[in-house]
Amino acid sequence: MISTLRGRLIQKHASAIVVETAGVGYEVLVPLRILGELPDEGREVFLYIHSYMREGLISLYGFLRQDERAVFRTLLNVSGIGPRIALNILSGATVEDFYSAVEREDTSFLTRLPGIGKKTARRIIFELKQTLPSVDTRKDSLYEDALSALVNLGYKKTDAREALERVYNKEDDIEKIIKNALRYLNK
């Protein structure tokens, strides 16, 4: 099973990209929302991959962040949700927005996503409400991990907290959070 893929981005299409690694071009289906975040064609790209096999066909689904792949995999466990609908959900919503909608039981938000009707929205909420982490829990764990990293780099805990309070936002990439905090600390 392929877990990650690093290579040169050869082509971008509306719902798929082609990544060349060691002379082999892999077609990877991606959420529409991340197409703008991908590098230009000819540049290197790194993706977290979910391999899906059905009836002898292998499909690769790619994500820029691990939490996107985790939500995709979680959605596949909901009855009636296949890879296409899971990809549509991640095309129309960020991970944070999706978590928040499930937490708030916001069926109107979910039904605005392509391929999601009221029954499916209710099923998603029913099956995932207890298993998805709350937005506050996710924020706390990212915040604490970033704080720990800054302290391990030699910064005082009070200075690291101040920097994180200034730069922390809904960003779900810990590397970006730490980089922004380091910029603040080194001013």
The pLDDT assigned to 67 comes to: 86
- pLDDT, tens digit, 9 for 90 and up, residues 83-121: 999 999 999 998 888 988 888 899 999 999 988 999 999
The pLDDT assigned to 30 comes to: 96
For residues 148 and 150, give the distance between their C-alpha atoms in angstroms, rounded to a whole number: 6
> How many domains in the chain?
3
161 and 173 assigned to the same domain: yes
Last residue of a domain, one of 12, 36, 63: 63
108 and 143 assigned to the same domain: no
CB 17 within 8 A of CB 62: yes
Name the residue range of residue 177's domain.
135-185
152 and 175 assigned to the same domain: yes
pTM above 0.85, yes or no: no
DSSP string, 128-169: HTTTSPPHHHHHHHHHHHHHHHHHHTT--HHHHHHHHHHH--
* pLDDT lower than 70: segments of the chain: 132-140, 169-172
Q: What is the CATH number of the domain that holds 33?
A: 2.40.50.140
DSSP string, 79-91: TT--HHHHHHHHH
CB 51 within 8 A of CB 37: no
SS3 52: strand
Q: What is the CATH number of the domain that holds 94?
A: 1.10.150.20
Nearest to 51 by CA among 22, 26, 32: 26
78 and 102 assigned to the same domain: yes
